[in-house]
Amino acid sequence: MECRKTVLERRMSRAKQKKMNETSHEGGKGKSSQFKMKTNRLVLLRHGESEFNLENKFCGWHDAPLTENGEREACMVASPALLQSKLDFDVVYTSVLDRSKKSAELILSNMNRAYVPTKADWRLCERHYGNLTGFRKREIANIYGEDQVQAWRRGYDDVPPEINTENRYYYVIRNNPIFDDVPAGQFPMTESLGMCVDRVEPVWKEIKQEVLNGTRVLICVHGTVTRALVKHIEGVSKEAIQKVNIPNSIPRVYEFNMKTGELVGGPINLGDPEYIKKKTAQVAAIGD
């Protein structure tokens, strides 16, 4: 009877410890349970493949839709990864661009969470690529050289030429009603990564406060905007963020100490490591 009781106690202890591990993290190595802290997770995600991604074109503020493969990525890559990790959400933030909103819609639908509210914010739109918009990256590289194109793509302060009226997408973008909420004087004609980092900072502060208040948040946005948010969240340097590449539809999970606002550990990318490595390399390259 004594042995059976000991086994039962051990089982109960393990179950109790497992439950605590699922809901909290230790406040320091070797500290007792009284120092356990409340945490909350945030998920950052780039939308599925868009038509301009497929064609290897600079997209920026052009409202390119998802491809069939992009829809499949949202349903078959992002959603299963989130479900497998038992992640749930109270709100989803997107930009006003369709590829961002549609990806979020598909992800929530496939998680049976279509009822979760979404908030579309123009400040989370992709970086504006100026007069590069609509051109293939290889085409621009053949004109200006690969080093210049990579500086425009990855450099922190490198600003592409402003979009002008001769660009076929100038009026398409300027006259798109989804941008009606952009305040006068804040509609960009081009942006560097650094300018994008500055643009998203106010909305990131708003979102972070929600996270620290216990709201479970998914941010489903764009490649450069994701990099800008990574800089704010992780506090990486200007030099380091230039080397960060974000593949489509791979959830990036952060955990925050709800009292201090500090990160608990590093980010976790959900999904098959080899798949993530392959897709990250594709993003880094200029391509054909």
Give the DSSP letter of residue 166: T
pLDDT per position as a tens digit, 128-148: 999 999 999 999 999 999 999
Mean pLDDT of 217-240: 97
**Bridge partner list, 251:** none
Domain range 36-284, CATH class = alpha beta
- Within a 10 A sphere around the Cβ of 65, how many other Cβ atoms? 13
Res 12 pLDDT > 60? no
Rounded to whole angstroms, how far apart are CA atoms 280 and 275? 9
Quick check: is 126 catalytic?
A: yes
50 carries a ligand binding annotation: yes
The CA distance from 288 to 281, in Å, is 14
Set 73, 126, 191, 255: catalytic member: 126
Nearest CA to 234 out of 209, 259, 248, 252 is that of 252
Residue 47 among the catalytic residues: yes
| Residue 21 pLDDT class (50, 70, 90 cuts) | very low
CA distance 35 to 24: 10
What's the Cα-to-Cα distance from 93 to each of 43, 44, 61, 157, rounded to whole Å? 10, 10, 17, 27
pLDDT tens readout for residues 154-202: 999 999 999 999 999 999 999 999 999 999 899 999 999 999 999 999 9
Reduced to 3 states (helix: H, G, I; strand: E, B; else coil), residue 263 is strand
pLDDT given at position 37: 79
Beta bridge partners of 120: 94
* Spatial distance between the Cα atoms of 186 and 123, rounded to a whole number of angstroms: 10
Each domain of the chain, given as residue ranges in start order, spans 36-284
Is residue 113 marked as binding? no
pLDDT of residue 120: 99
